[in-house]
Amino acid sequence: MFGKLTIEALPLYSAIAATGALVTVGGGFIVFVVVTWLKAWKYLWTEWLTSVDHKRIGVMYIVLALIMLMRGFVDAIMMRAQQAMALNNGGYLPPEHFDQIFSSHGTIMIIFMAMPFMTGLMNIAVPLQIGTRDVAFPFLNSLSLWLTSAGAALVMVSLVIGKFSTAGWTGYPPYSGIEANPGVGVDYWIWALLISGVGSTLSGINFIVTILKRRAPGMGLMRMTPFTWTALCASVLMAFAFPALTVACGLLALDRLLGMHFFTNELGGNMMNYPNLFWIWGHPEVYILILPAFGVFSEVVSTFSRKRLFGYESLVYATAAIAILSFTVWLHHFFTMGSSANVNAFFGVTTMIIAVPTGVKVFNWLLTMYRGRITFHPSMLWTVGFIVTFVIGGMTGVLLAMPPADFLMHNTTFLVAHFHNMIIPGVLFGYLAGYMYWFPKAFGFKMNEPWGTAAFWFWMIGFYLAFMPLYVLGFMGMPRRMEQYNDPTWQPWLIAASMGAVLILIGIACLVIQLAVSIRDRRKLVDVTGDPYDGRTLEWATSSPPPPYNFAVLPEVRDREPLVDMKERGVVYQPPRAYEDIEIPKNSAAGVVLGGLAFVLGFAMVWQIWWLVILCGVAMWVTLVLRASDDESEFILSAAEVERIEVARYRALRNQNGRRR
């Protein structure tokens, strides 16, 4: 009846695992109680969960990302604490538990923190920047969100029911094979990735079509904002790289479920094919995450230096070059696997080449700041911190790109330090910059700046303290993922690294306080204009938060910085002569229902509850077919209603200006 699921699945084997489960269940329970107490279920359902509005979907993506950031960080600080104390003793975490933690840390941070954060920022900013009323496929957008959430929920549930994978976030066989890993952990990992991977593929397709087909009149490709360009390139990578992850995880699932021999050690299996398939997705994935962050930095640096971006064309071409090159470097993740010297040399050279367009961008940002009138908004601090730190990580990357050097550093903490040195400043700092930059657009009030600045400094200093020691440890020969060790010269460095993690913890606390303080002071921080930074691009031309239709009249673009151009021509914030009816997609419960069914389907696959798998599969089919056959998925917002919303906005604007005078 319940497949492999028994009462044994509860995490009573260790006090720490049981605490983790309690925190997860307790957190969910508290949210449930608070929403019920506020009588907010109906509001939540009609205004948010079933919404197909890209701005709301974007906000929900970022909420998911921030929750998963907390979870992933708890994993991180637990690992740092374990390694700081586990010299010649077992520390406080048994190996089985430690292995789950490093596996879930990587999985969560890449797939369920960075991906939703990026997709969330794209959702909030891209349609506004290209001057359209919605994405090309609003319902698919909602479906993507809920499939991603279903994957994240599977990872969270593994804390409470059963265990998570112990095979690392990359899930290499034979560790992830059924012989070495007979439990359900790897299955949780596989189904979380498969389900959310479908969501990411659909997001990629959605944004390619949105950007290529729905730009405002006059916005040629070379008038798109840098963020839109990077979002386009990242979307192309998403649409074409995620299928490779689907194949890698799917074949691994077939090995585990049906006893096939793709990656086994016997009967003709070839486990070296797995890293190939995985990294054909995995390397483009790095650029999927990092390109939109580059886009954010470009927007921020231009806005807060009050200058046009230096070398826009070169930045666009560099972005496209990185996107193409990203498919040609995957083998550098396994130089030591035994390819010939010539093959390794080829991938080493392509890896070094990819540093060139990235270097071009660094000069774009530096020269934009040169002689600019810089405002040190927290977003700008994240940007400057990124430039400095990322260059260091880039240099260690070029070092690792040399196969002979890689043979020495492979699988050591040097590598761990390197990719954190790329991904924390290159991805996370970028997304946090974007979060603070576009927050007023999404909610109509600015974020508290002092707490944002404090968060930046704790993250920045904490990052250096946490990861520079890992470079040193790598040179000293410390392998990654060690639960305990017996070399006393390592311990001081590991203690230093754990102090860095504590600083980052304070940085995260500052982010939470910043959000709370900003919400408390929302009246003081209110932004009526919709343009709090004297912005340069179209998202600042509409109100904050934008109305459901974004623009009452679609803007006409005459310049690469349309808002600067409109301000110079004096045509900005002018009520149009007449309003028109606007077509708006209706809310749909199908997205959240399909997400819920996908979650149950994944859970049933993990525990091999076959009747439930079939039931969910059929229910998903029926929901999808019903939704796909719906010919009336839109409603008309009348011109009178649009006029009412817009007139209120212009009145507020006039009042504000009157008070200023």
Residue listed under structure tokens 């961008």: 361
Gap between the Cα atoms of 114 and 121, Å rounded: 11
Tell me if residue 216 falls in helix, strand or coil. Answer: coil
Backbone angles phi, psi at 172, to 5 degrees: -65, 135
Q: Nearest-5° angle of CA 429, CA 55, CA 535?
A: 60
Q: Is 631 in the site for other proteins (CB under 8 A)?
A: yes
Nearer to other proteins, 177 or 394 (CB): 177
Among 1, 6, 220, 258, binds other proteins (CB under 8 A): 258
Closest distance to other proteins from the beta carbon of 636 (Å): 8
Q: Is 629 in the site for other proteins (CB under 8 A)?
A: yes
Q: Is 266 in the site for other proteins (CB under 8 A)?
A: yes
Among 143, 280, 465, 605, binds other proteins (CB under 8 A): 280
> What part of residues 124-143 is at the interface with other proteins (CB under 8 A)?
136-137, 140
Alpha carbon distance, N-terminus to C-terminus of the chain: 73
Single out the segment in contact with other proteins by CB under 8 A; choices: 204-212, 225-233, 469-477, 517-525.
Answer: 204-212
Among 22, 77, 209, 517, binds other proteins (CB under 8 A): 209
Cβ neighbours of residue 651 closer than 8 Å, sequence gap 6 or more: none
Closest distance to other proteins from the beta carbon of 399 (Å): 31
Cβ neighbours of residue 286 closer than 8 Å, sequence gap 6 or more: 326, 422, 423
Q: Is 268 in the site for other proteins (CB under 8 A)?
A: yes
Per DSSP, the residues of 54-65 read HHHHHHHHHHHH
Gap between the Cα atoms of 240 and 68, Å rounded: 25
Q: What is the 3-state secondary structure (H, E, C) of 487-522?
A: CCCCHHHHHHHHHHHHHHHHHHHHHHHHHHHHHHCC
Closest distance to other proteins from the beta carbon of 255 (Å): 8
Nearer to other proteins, 269 or 462 (CB): 269
Closest distance to other proteins from the beta carbon of 240 (Å): 6
Q: Is 85 in the site for other proteins (CB under 8 A)?
A: no
Q: Is 270 in the site for other proteins (CB under 8 A)?
A: yes
Rg (CA), the chain: 25
> What part of residues 559-588 is at the interface with other proteins (CB under 8 A)?
580-581, 583
Among 14, 246, 453, 491, binds other proteins (CB under 8 A): 246
Gap between the Cα atoms of 188 and 162, Å rounded: 9
Among 24, 273, 339, 484, binds other proteins (CB under 8 A): 273
> What part of residues 221-240 is at the interface with other proteins (CB under 8 A)?
239-240
> What part of residues 495-554 is at the interface with other proteins (CB under 8 A)?
none
Count Cβ neighbours within 10 Å for each residue of 560-588 and write b for 16 or more, e otherwise: bbbbbebbeeeebbeeeeebeebebbebb
Helix, strand and coil percent figures for the chain, each rounded to 5: 70, 0, 25
Spatial contact of 55 and 546, defined as CB atoms under 8 Å apart:
yes
Nearer to other proteins, 255 or 527 (CB): 255
Q: Is 254 in the site for other proteins (CB under 8 A)?
A: yes
Cβ neighbours of residue 611 closer than 8 Å, sequence gap 6 or more: none
Among 47, 261, 568, 657, binds other proteins (CB under 8 A): 261
Closest distance to other proteins from the beta carbon of 204 (Å): 8
Instruction: Using CB under 8 A, count the residues that bind other proteins.
Output: 44
Closest distance to other proteins from the beta carbon of 147 (Å): 15
Closest distance to other proteins from the beta carbon of 337 (Å): 14
Q: Is 243 in the site for other proteins (CB under 8 A)?
A: yes
Closest distance to other proteins from the beta carbon of 60 (Å): 22
Tell me if residue 274 falls in helix, strand or coil. Answer: helix
Torsion of CA 67, 71, 74, 75, to 10 degrees: -150
Nearer to other proteins, 267 or 640 (CB): 267
Tell me if residue 526 falls in helix, strand or coil. Answer: strand
By the criterion CB under 8 A, which residues form the site for other proteins? 136-137, 140, 201, 204-206, 208-209, 212-214, 239-240, 242-244, 246-247, 251, 254-255, 258-262, 264, 266-270, 273, 277, 280, 580-581, 583, 621, 625, 628-629, 631
